[in-house]
Structure 1
Amino acid sequence: MRPIVFRVSVSPAIGMGHLMRSLALAQAAGSYDIPCHFFTDKGGRALAVARNDWIYPVTEVPCGSDDDESRWLTEQAKRMNASVVVVDGYDIPAASLSGLRGAGIPVMVMDDGQLSQVAQASLVVNSTTSSLDAHYQEINPAVKICSGPDYRLMRLEFQRGDNPPQDKRFGIAVCIGGSDPKGLTVPLINALSDVLNDVPVRVITGAAFNDISALNEAIKASPLAIQHIHNCQDMADVWRHSKLAVSAAGGSQFELGVCETPSVLLMVAENQRTATEQAQQEGWCTTFDCTGDVPFDEIAGTVHALWQQPGKLEAMQQAVKGKYHAEGAFNVLNAIAEVIQP
């Protein structure tokens, strides 16, 4: 089988979301014995292989100009006889993909509204919304478009297991992404510690989180029983067994939807707005705009109020039932098969 090659952005500053999304597609490909190879930014390899479910070769892209990367990436893809190159990362220059198109190697772009790479794509995937389809066609009339929730990429851990009811769940889970680039975790724990009483809290940080010492100090100073899990390897288990989650929006909110977990979602990037607003309308979460000043006290107050209302949490869980599924990666694979040259 010809391999799928991934060009992914991952770092403490960017976060882990692009890598986790691409991992979901690689895992689905593995079920068909399709090999995968990842190309990441400098430092990305260590973050990838820190996961115990990581089984894929990783090569870091050499630093250089966009033209240099274009030549290098094209040479690597040709040498591997790649069937497609999957691109996931806002800061990957479109110019670095031009050689692939010239070599006849299909490019699949994961787009969340940045649009900058669409001109180089044979296939564009936007699992959040179909509202940009006309823009995609205007930029690239020949591109195949896969948009909407049927193309949501979820890792294997979210395709297995059942979602317990509220009375079988416990505590509050707090996770502000794989790296928390805005530094929300520590002040959020401080704010929650001021309003919660006798509530078990799990704080989850990813492999790219760099503020461990400050977090440990906040946990030590808190009156709450706080468990800290760093580089968590099974987020599905954490989400499924939490009565309430406080989470960054983005990819995590779709995980929470699959796990039917009532949530307080923090929108930390503008491109999360559409999906976050839609999730709130579905009735299973409360959301806060954290793209500017972060209202930590208001967030903590909302968490406290929800925790005091088990009936409300039950209603929120019921509201999300059946709205999210975890099989979108297989639909993306089918779309890739349609654009691959024989």
Structure 2
Amino acid sequence: MKALVRADASVEIGMGHRVRCQALIHAFTQLGWQCQFVVDRRYQAFASPDDVFIATEAQFWRLAEQADLVILDHYGYAADAITQLYQHQANLLVLDDMNDRGEFPAKWLLNPLQQDYSKLIEYPLIGSQYALLRPAFQASHIDHSSPQRLLVTLGGTDPLMLTLPILNTLLASGFPTEYIQVLLGANAKNAAQVIAFCDDNRIAFEQGLADVTPLMKQAKMAISAAGGTLFELACLGVPTVFAQVAENQTRSLEQHVPLDWCCSVRFDTVPEAARQQRVARLVEEVNRRWLDLQWQQNARQTARRLVDGAGAERVARVISDFFETQ
């Protein structure tokens, strides 16, 4: 069986689509599938040499017709574009977050948030049990030691370059540098300046780690972007102050913040000149919650109940079972 995965990555798009699709590819591969990314040539710098590169949508349609399954994780596809793709390959799995693209047909629809979709979706896969995490999270066991670190991680690209102002504000607030752990994505903006700052202030940092679970397990709390990392931190029970850096993170925060294992400060809707005020608010929230041990304990328990790390395996099994019964 062959699956094509349509997802792009760039500084503007971020790395989250590709990362969660890689988790799904791993699960399908374990069941004997052949999987391959299909990527727009404009984003070749963030792709793998093994990917298939396309310049037009017609090229993708021809590839889709030859596959058994197409997995679409791409905000560039509105309802009409998804409908066109479905006409070329009805065995279509659409990954979604916001449920804001209108009605479209698909065999399967995956959203780790509770959302209602039209009857054009044959098999909705809805809820946090379908959150797509890398295999390391499923294999991770809860660390019963007492974590001491504040993990600062603003996504694969840190599109708004928030890491450095957050670190500056943390230090100005008197937060102990020995407790800070910075995690930079391989393609993080402003990485050289962040690394220099960390060196100057003896702050621990890592960049481009293939497995982030050891750092997350050491985290008493985290400051994080609110993309796919939200589900990773929930799985490992890390209370978090999220920096919202993109519109597509709105629904996940609307559903998770009321559960009180996390809180959030929004950055994507404010001009650059006003971001420092939001950074100060975020750091104030971190300092307040850093000493609230009862909240942290409750938050850890709540978060771990939400995500078990086996979502990709569940999705791959559901779809494989469908093909086995045809």
Q: Same fold (TM over 0.5)?
A: yes
> Among residues 144, 149, 152, which one is paired with 1:174 in the alignment?
152
Name the residue aligned to 1:5: 4
Name the residue aligned to 2:195: 216
Name the residue aligned to 1:19: 18
> TM (normalized to structure 2)?
0.87
For the structure 1 residues 105 and 57, does the alpha-carbon distance in structure 2 shift closer, same or farther, using more than 3 Å as the test? farther
Native 8 Å contact 2:6 2:71 kept in 1: yes
> Among residues 296, 317, 324, which one is paired with 2:300 in the alignment?
317
Name the residue aligned to 1:185: 163
Q: Structure 2 matches for 1:168-317, cutoff 5 A?
A: 168-195=146-173, 196-221=175-200, 223=201, 225-293=202-270, 294=275, 295-317=278-300
Deviates more, 1:10-19 or 1:284-293: 284-293
- Partners in 1 of 2:150 and 2:183 — Cα distance? 11
> Among residues 312, 320, 323, which one is paired with 1:329 in the alignment?
312
Q: Secondary structure at the residue paired with 1:168?
A: coil
- Partners in 2 of 1:307 and 1:229 — Cα distance? 22
Q: Secondary structure at the residue paired with 1:232?
A: coil
> TM (normalized to structure 1)?
0.83
Give, in angstroms, the shift of residue 117 of structure 1. Answer: 7.8
Gaps of 5+ in 2: none
- Partners in 2 of 1:207 and 1:59 — Cα distance? 22
- Partners in 2 of 1:27 and 1:82 — Cα distance? 18
- Partners in 2 of 1:202 and 1:211 — Cα distance? 17
Gaps of 5+ in 1: 50-55, 63-67
Task: Give the counterpart letter for 2:227 in structure 1.
Answer: G
Give, in angstroms, the shift of residue 198 of structure 1. Answer: 4.1
Q: Secondary structure at the residue paired with 2:178?
A: coil
- Partners in 2 of 1:291 and 1:74 — Cα distance? 34
Name the residue aligned to 1:74: 61
- Partners in 2 of 1:278 and 1:76 — Cα distance? 37
Over the residues paired in the alignment, what is the CA RMSD in angstroms?
2.5
- Partners in 2 of 1:92 and 1:14 — Cα distance? 13
- Partners in 2 of 1:117 and 1:75 — Cα distance? 25
Give, in angstroms, the shift of residue 34 of structure 1. Answer: 1.1
Native 8 Å contact 1:83 1:105 kept in 2: no
Question: Once the two structures are superposed, what CA deviation does each residue of 1:152-180 show, in whole Å capped at 9, x if it has no partner?
Answer: 11110100121223x43231111111111
Give, in angstroms, the shift of residue 220 of structure 1. Answer: 4.4
Give, in angstroms, the shift of residue 121 of structure 1. Answer: 2.4
Give, in angstroms, the shift of residue 191 of structure 1. Answer: 1.1
Name the residue aligned to 2:107: 122
Native 8 Å contact 1:11 1:43 kept in 2: no
- How many aligned residue pairs are there? 318
